[in-house]
Chains A and B, each alone.
Chain A
Amino acid sequence: MGVGIDVEHLNAWYGTNHTLQDINLSIPANHATALIGPSGCGKSTFVRCLNRMHETNPIARATGVVKMGELDIYKDASPVDIRRRVGMVFQRPNPFPTMSIYDNVASGLKLNGFRNKAILDETVERSLKAAALWEEVKDDLKKKSGASLSGGQQQRMCIARALAVDPEVLLMDEPASALDPVSTSKIEDLIFQLKSQYTIVIVTHNMQQAARVAENTGFFLNGKMVEFNSTDKIFTMPSDKRTEDYITGRFG
């Protein structure tokens, strides 16, 4: 159900800052791919280019080819279409504060004009179950506001919200960095289960998380992609010294 993403000669700018320099990489379908690297290396920018969120910033610009399957996402489709096929979960949970849990999860559908109550009910239940949150909230769906849940629950709700529109790719920008170890574990288990249905790209500061969750890992440094390989190779026998220095924690 997921689709692979091929990136060719992707360059991105914020104003005059050349944030991404000639990125080439292939993200395999139905696998989890982790992107690691120090702060400011461009991994978040890269991920935002994959669902065309990068261009929502007025001073942002990108060139290059990003293909989802056969589709060139910049030339052959509108940003809105792409974002319905490529979902995103952000670093800090961002539920809609004025909406209930039900409305939050259904928002992707409701705000696009979907009104069929039966389908909405079924979608909300399915998504919350996929996000391992159904049991905890099923009695308070319409009574509780989305913002009244705990941090870990909010993030899982945001994942459910992203899954409700049935994307093919799920982008996760440091999804567990604001959460405690228990919530983090739950989300990692979730990713493990979701892999078979979606293509997952996860940006993370936490190398151990990348090692636990992803089959492939890419290391970004100063806007360039230094190395991309299977996760076990990267963490036991990296080919580039810069990767090894970052992984072993030796900076400076």
Chain B
Amino acid sequence: MSTNPKPIAAPGGDAPLRTPTNYQTRAMRLNSARRYLMNHLVTVLAVLSTVAVVVPLVAIFAYLLYKGASSLNLAFFTHIPAPVGEPGGGMANSIVGSAIVLALASSMGVPVGIAAGVYLAEYGRGKMLAMAVRFTADVLNGIPSIVMGIAAYSLIVMRQMHFSAFSGGVALAIMMVPTITRTTEEMLMTVPHAIREAALGLGVPKWRTVVSVSLRTASPGIITGCMLAFARVAGETAPLLFTAFGNQFWSFKLNEPIAALPLQIYVYAISPYDEWHRLAWAGALVLILMIMVSVTLVRIYAARGILKGAS
């Protein structure tokens, strides 16, 4: 652009030279300035959006910390709730109870979800049954959690004539399945077909190819899917209302009502007692912390697992 050709003499004498090259340069310069501006504008918008998302999260966490941290003491983690009116007490049984119910739910939901995902991705492509399964999963995903609770209530609680941890686990498991199924299917679809072919070409039977090659390659993504499902159901209250039902005392039996953290928080929060309100805030904080810790642990384990597999 610096080596301009000889300027053409303009008709009309010695007016300022308006050669084609000059015109282009100016237009290009204007265009360039506008694009620069647009670039910066969009960057700023993106940053603002990120801030807008992160700020509420941080704010919530900070507020919980503020309201609940003072109530966290050893007693909180070791004692069961005190009788009405008495100070002190803790939510130890709810924490343990949540852990038990979530473990139950995962043990039922994860295998079923992964199996369904494997079917959809590896065996059922194009088949009618696969389309039905996918449709069912999508519908289940959209069902309100309270309806899940009612379904588990009528299927299990009414049959057994009592509330139980087991029924709570079932309700939560059903809620986990659609997410795990869809994520597993999508992650398996990202496994390149070439490496499946490589395994088949070596004379590895199809089931073994699915397990040792497809699942293994897609495992980081599948684990993420399971974590997402876990995190979602960990905080669910409604399904547990008429299944686990809650329990003021220690309980480790699966066919008895059991306490759960979200449930207990709900009960305490709508109560008229300040003492219980205090415990509710602490409980909410603990719940968030539990989810964060478990998600982080799984992430670390999965990442190490990938590297291990590569060595």
Q: Do A and B come from one complex?
A: yes
Interface, chain A (partner B; CB < 8 A): 51, 53, 56, 58, 80-85, 87-88, 90, 92, 94-100, 107-108, 111-112, 142-143, 145, 158, 161-162, 165
Given contacts A53-B197, A108-B204, 12 further A-B contacts (CB under 8 A): A53-B201, A56-B200, A87-B201, A90-B198, A90-B201, A95-B195, A98-B306, A100-B311, A111-B199, A111-B212, A145-B310, A161-B202
Cα(A97)–Cα(B198), bound, Å: 12
Chain B residues, Cβ within 8 Å of A94:
192, 194-195, 197-198
Cβ of A82: which chain B residues have Cβ within 8 Å of it? 203
The answer on a CB contact under 8 Å between B208 and A111 is yes
Q: Please, which residues of chain B bring their CB within 8 A of the CB of A53?
A: 197, 200-201
Residue from A51, A80, A100 whose CB has the most chain B CB atoms within 10 Å: A80
Q: Is the CB of A98 within 8 A of B310?
A: yes
Q: If A58-B125, A142-B311, A145-B310 touch, does A92 touch B202 (CB 8 Å cutoff)?
A: no
User: Is the CB–CB distance between A98 and B309 below 8 Å?
Assistant: yes
Q: Does B145 sit at the interface, judged by CB under 8 A? A: no
Contact B311 A165 (CB under 8 A): no
What residues of chain B lie closer than 8 Å to A107, measured between beta carbons? 199, 202, 204
A sample of 11 cross-chain residue pairs with beta-carbon separation below 8 angstroms, ordered by A number, consists of: A83-B201, A85-B203, A94-B195, A95-B195, A96-B195, A96-B199, A98-B217, A111-B212, A112-B204, A161-B198, A165-B202
Q: Is B205 an interface residue (CB 8 A)?
A: yes
Closest to A109 in B: B202
The answer to whether A111 and B194 have CB atoms under 8 Å apart is no
Most chain B CB within a 10 A radius of its CB, from A81, A95, A107, A143: A107
Q: A100-B310, A162-B202 are in contact. Are A92 and B212 (CB under 8 A)?
A: no
Give the interface of B toward A (CB within 8 A). 125-126, 192, 194-195, 197-205, 208-209, 212-213, 216-217, 219, 306, 309-311
Determine the chain B residues whose CB is within 8 A of the CB of A84 once the complex forms: 202-203
Q: Is the interface of B mostly helix, strand, loop or mixed?
A: helix
Nearest chain-A residue to B220 (Cβ)?
A98
Q: Which residue of B lies closest to A102 (CB)?
A: B311
Partner of A162 from the list B192, B201, B208, B217 (CB cut-off 8 Å) is: B201
**In the complex, number of A-B residue pairs with CB atoms less than 8 Å apart:** 78
Contacts of A83 in B (CB 8 A): 200-203
Interface contact A111-B202, CB-CB below 8 Å: yes
CB distance from A127 to the nearest CB of B (A): 12
What 8 A-B pairs are tightest by C-beta distance, nearest first? A84-B203, A83-B203, A108-B202, A94-B194, A88-B201, A145-B310, A98-B309, A94-B198
Determine the chain A residues whose CB is within 8 A of the CB of B216 once the complex forms. Answer: 98
CB neighbours of A51 from chain B (8 A): 201
Q: Specify which chain B residues have a CB less than 8 angstroms from the CB of A96 in the assembled complex.
A: 195, 198-199, 213, 217
Task: Give every chain B residue within 8 A of A142 (Cβ-Cβ).
Answer: 311
**Alpha-carbon separation in the docked complex, A161 to B126 (Å):** 32
**What's the nearest-Cβ distance from chain B to residue A217, in Å?**
24
Q: Which chain B positions have C-beta within 8 A of A100?
A: 310-311
A85, A96, A112, A165: residue with the most chain B Cβ atoms closer than 10 Å: A96
Please measure, in the bound complex, the distance between the C-alpha atom of A92 and the C-alpha atom of B209, giving whole angstroms: 19
B205 touches A58 (CB 8 A): no
Distance (whole angstroms) from the CB of A68 to the closest CB of chain B: 14
Q: A231 to nearest B CB, angstroms?
A: 26
Q: A58-B126, A108-B203 are in contact. Are A97 and B208 (CB under 8 A)?
A: no
**Shortest Cβ gap from A181 to chain B (Å):** 24
Picked from A56, A143, A165, the residue with its CB within 8 Å of the CB of B197 is A56
Q: Is the CB of B194 within 8 A of A80?
A: no
Q: Is the pair A80, B198 in contact by a Cβ cutoff of 8 Å?
A: no
The answer to whether A111 and B204 have CB atoms under 8 Å apart is yes
The residue of chain A having its C-beta at the shortest distance from the C-beta of B218 within the complex is A98
* Shortest distance between the CB of B99 and any CB in chain A (Å): 31
Please tell me if the beta carbons of A165 and B194 are within 8 angstroms of each other in the complex.
no
CB contact between A143 and one of B192, B204, B205, B311 (< 8 Å): that residue: B311
